Structure 1
Amino acid sequence: MGTSSDGSQAEDDNANPDLETSVFDYRSLDEIKAEIQKTYLADDRPWVIGYSGGKDSTTTLQLIWYAIADLPDSEQEKPIYVISSDTLVETPKIVNHITSSLDNVNEYAEKEDLPFEAHKVYPDVSDSFFVNLIGRGYPAPNQTFRWCTERLKIDPADNFIMDKVSEHGEVVVILGARKAESATREQVMNLHSIDGSNLSRHSKFANAFVYTPIEDWTVDDVWDYLLQVDCPWGKNNRDLAALYQEADDECPMVIDTSTPSCGNSRFGCWTCTVVEEDKAMENMVDAGDEWLEPLLQFRDLLKATQDPDEKPKYREAKGRRHGNVREKDNGSDGIIPRAYKFEFRKHLLRKLLETEQTVNELRDEEQGYLDLIRDEELKEIRRIWREEEADWEDSVPQIYNDVMDDDLDWIQNDLGSFSTEEAAVLEEVCAEHDIPPKLVKRLLDIELRHHGMKRRAAIYNKIDKVFRENWETIEELTAEIDGEDPERWEYDVEYEELMQ
């Protein structure tokens, strides 16, 4: 592919578009650039470019950068927002790559007076991975329950898009999606296409449209372009190629749930359990990044909880929302395991903090301290545990202090005066009368939160809801089915055996 320094290319007369054929056999870079410029100038709708830091999104941003830079200054009026979703559990090496890339985009755009603005978007603290996994007990994601994708990737991007729709009326979302990625991706892209237009309908928002300038490119086209055309914001595309040396693919910017898991990728989350093995992170460890090994072990611990035979060790029998038990409906006997047990979630929090300590002991000083969980997430987990799990022992500050030998600025007495001492007394009384202690704790917490209110009608519905919950453990329910005594597990012992 013959190119100039700005990415332009002589025209090619061949016009036979095929997903198996190089795009450069029937289109030149000059033609692609002209299409981008025409689309940009066609209306006053701002552009929002989804940037994951990977090869496809880098190619897309680079093409657009060169196309816009070649326009007269007077025509570069429409803002172009570059957004990257930071799930807060991205593989740390990739976080550094994306952060430095976004910083460079802003620096070079200002220096060259181009209409690009780079932004990171984050999930709300209530939607973060560890608040849901450890705080609420959501089980580690799998192919059929990928609760993480929407909360961590789709919603933050959607919120940014809707903010710009509110500000400008309509927007165009630019994605580095390619039809050759998969048959599903091609089908989705074709479904939303608009006849006679370069734009497609957004799958969710009526006032947003989608433009995919590299939709007909092959993976070879992408690398051919990146390795021959310099990155215009000061990065080296050969460094990007090095990140892909042993990886399968990038984790694309996600706008719908049809996007496949990124777990085999260097551009995925280090906590991803949708795939069997995290080969990308294993490769990083093998290549010398030994400080990633504790992250891999924590991820493998989460993956181990998905073993059907092991689920009773880790999961509750009843759901969080209604507290009911569901029996399997596939013809087999048994109970469908639901959220992680509270004791196991406490174990996970401790292991996560210990992992953070170990990782930072292995990292070089110039790499800086790596926070695996933020203070605001810890405080949100504490709130959820105290309100929903009747955690009178106030476990989060205790676990944090035990592991980190430090303390945070915890809000004191935010839910009343029940404490470890009251919990111990209650445990004894409930044991004598064979009553679940958590049931009584929940009832007392409801009364405490409604104490002093002039209108207390809502308290009766909440009390009724608590009484309607199933209060047997999954061990007890399973034991009833199997005619055995319920078995108890020591999570620290189980974890050590798993690591061995």
Structure 2
Amino acid sequence: MKTRLVDKTFVFGGKNLDDIYKEIQEVYFSNNYPWIIGYSGGKDSTATLQLVWEALERVPRIKLNKPIYVLSSDTLVEIPKVVNYVDKSIELINKAAKEKGVPIQAIKVVPEISDTFWVNLIGRGYPAPTNEFRWCTDRLKIDPTNKFVIETANKYGEVIVVLGVRKAESINRERTINEHKIEDSRLSRHTTLPGAFIYAPIEDWSVDEVWDYLINFESPWGGNNRELFEMYKQANAGECPVIVELKEGSESQSCGNSRFGCWICTVVKNEKSLSALIESGETWLKPLQEFRKLLVETQDPEKKHIYRDYKRRDGNIYFLKHKEKKGIKELGRGPYKFKYRKIFLEKLLLAEKRIREESGYDINLISQDELIEIQRIWKLEEGDWENSVHKIYEKVYRKSLDIPKEDIGIFSAEDRALIEEIAKEEDIDPKLVVKLLNTYQYSRNLSRKSSLLKKLERILNEEWRTEEEILNEVSR
């Protein structure tokens, strides 16, 4: 690789490298707002960060008087190989920035514990995401990033968000970039955050130009761009040629627009990156593929009634409108049934155990904090007084979960069995009794008793008929 080389023959997006560095410097010094560089570890964000770093290293350190945050968002369900690469990059960035005296700090944000994928899917029973119900993106990625941007904007007045977005990625991306451009400026207005502006240094670059830059210029923080290239090659099933240097007039294509997303993503019909990595030799990732296949199966319209409850999380029911138009009364489906959520947790822990054994890496597919939160939700919403999370963990790992057992609640598994026995005799849904007891226990210290009574009333007004009883009544 060529180090710190600036040559008039290197042209990217219609500009030579000298002019690109000068533009970055001009934008940097045009105001006092801090910069937040979005960094995913992918090719575009890496090229963007590298450009900014190189441009500012050419400026006397005393003039670099405002902070630059390199912001990485970890959904906690990223492909482990990618997570390892990004974490290593963050360490290198912070170390090199300190040694070189540039005001750059790499930070990783994660979802709030209540918003994580597993807390929602296994804990609350949210169904695997689809295009119609894509509940994951905001919670896992957008909200943690926006929170950091908003907090920084509030502290400094406004911020510049530097993104590795390119017009060539899609027509929609080009339209978005153009629509929000500020006249006579390289900045755009953020589409949702009023205190933020967008700067996209590589917006006019092609994918080949991105790889051209990364392959020909070394990472200033000591990262390995060839390793990144190999990851893209693997994620593309090795179909792209290993290009050492793109030459003028060459028709060779790079690894293109391959992307690394969440390994569990069920929004896309055909998952590519994970499968390609496995085909390229990363066979230890197979348990992830198998678990994803299980969740995809639950999306089959013909099997939804097997996996999912007939009631929504609020305890109410609804009928499918498109079926009603045909004169058919069919209940819509709600969250995953509790028994399947327990199965999902066991299979996820088994996948985690198998990956650790086969890869040698100490990989966590689900954190202890998430396990604690899932157990809390199960106790509160499902009356899981037998601490199922702990039992499942002990079954898989043959050892106790290294956290104290959730001690909220005065009821035991024996109490649950007694309630079920009495409820059966009185022809009452035991879940109703359990939910009333749980609500009273958690809310009995409320200063206003009226609040407790309203909660109990809402529970009593939920749908407590069985699915069979409901369908029999509407068919009369």
Provide TM-score, normalisation by structure 2.
Answer: 0.90
Report whether the alignment pairs 1:326 with 2:314. Answer: no
Report whether the alignment pairs 1:267 with 2:267. Answer: no
Instruction: Please list the CA deviations of residues 287-314 of structure 1 after superposition, one character each: whole Å capped at 9, or x if unmatched.
Output: 2222111111011101111111111111
| Structure 2 partner of 1:335 | 331
Consecutive unaligned residues of structure 2, counting only runs of 5 or more, are 238-256
Instruction: Please list the CA deviations of residues 384-420 of structure 1 after superposition, one character each: whole Å capped at 9, or x if unmatched.
Output: 1111122222211121222222223555573332111
**2:2 touches 2:218 (CA, 8 Å); kept in 1?**
no
| Structure 2 partner of 1:117 | 105
Deviation, structure 1 residue 450: 3.6
| Structure 1 partner of 2:381 | 388
| Structure 2 partner of 1:404 | 397
CA distance in 2 between counterparts of 1:421 and 1:66 reads 66
Q: Give the alignment's Cα RMSD to 1 decimal.
A: 2.2
Q: Which amino acid aligns with 1:352?
A: L
Report whether the alignment pairs 1:91 with 2:79. Answer: yes
Q: Decide whether aligned partners of structure 1 residues 92 and 409 sit closer, same or farther in structure 2, where only a CA change above 3 A counts.
A: closer
CA distance in 1 between counterparts of 2:303 and 2:268 reads 18
Instruction: Please list the CA deviations of residues 104-155 of structure 1 after superposition, one character each: whole Å capped at 9, or x if unmatched.
Output: 1111111111111111111111111100110011111111222111111111
2:410 aligned to 413, 417, 431, which one? Answer: 417
Report whether the alignment pairs 1:145 with 2:133. Answer: yes
| Structure 2 partner of 1:490 | none
CA distance in 1 between counterparts of 2:416 and 2:300 reads 33
CA distance in 2 between counterparts of 1:451 and 1:79 reads 49
| Structure 2 partner of 1:6 | 4
Instruction: Please list the CA deviations of residues 144-168 of structure 1 after superposition, one character each: whole Å capped at 9, or x if unmatched.
Output: 2221111111111111112211221
Task: Report sequence identity in percent.
Answer: 46
Name the SS of the counterpart of 2:72 in structure 1.
strand
| Structure 2 partner of 1:351 | 347
1:27-426 map, 5 Å:
27-247=15-235, 267-320=260-313, 322-330=314-322, 331-332=325-326, 333=328, 334-364=330-360, 368-408=361-401, 410-411=403-404, 414-426=407-419
CA distance in 1 between counterparts of 2:469 and 2:355 reads 38
Instruction: Please list the CA deviations of residues 445-481 of structure 1 after superposition, one character each: whole Å capped at 9, or x if unmatched.
Output: 2222344655311121111111121124557656877
**1:137 touches 1:342 (CA, 8 Å); kept in 2?**
yes
**1:243 touches 1:266 (CA, 8 Å); kept in 2?**
no
CA distance in 2 between counterparts of 1:203 and 1:5 reads 37
CA distance in 2 between counterparts of 1:413 and 1:121 reads 27
Q: Decide whether aligned partners of structure 1 residues 44 and 473 sit closer, same or farther in structure 2, where only a CA change above 3 A counts.
A: farther
CA distance in 1 between counterparts of 2:446 and 2:266 reads 45
Report whether the alignment pairs 1:445 with 2:438. Answer: yes
Comparing 349-358 and 373-382, the one that deviates more: 349-358
Q: Decide whether aligned partners of structure 1 residues 54 and 480 sit closer, same or farther in structure 2, where only a CA change above 3 A counts.
A: farther
CA distance in 2 between counterparts of 1:294 and 1:409 reads 24
| Structure 2 partner of 1:427 | 420
Instruction: Please list the CA deviations of residues 176-228 of structure 1 after superposition, one character each: whole Å capped at 9, or x if unmatched.
Output: 01111111212222222211111111122211111011111111111111111
Name the SS of the counterpart of 1:381 in structure 2.
helix
Name the SS of the counterpart of 2:228 in structure 1.
helix
Consecutive unaligned residues of structure 1, counting only runs of 5 or more, are 13-21, 250-263, 484-500
Q: Decide whether aligned partners of structure 1 residues 49 and 478 sit closer, same or farther in structure 2, where only a CA change above 3 A counts.
A: farther
Provide TM-score, normalisation by structure 1.
Answer: 0.86
Deviation, structure 1 residue 433: 2.6
**1:397 touches 1:410 (CA, 8 Å); kept in 2?**
no
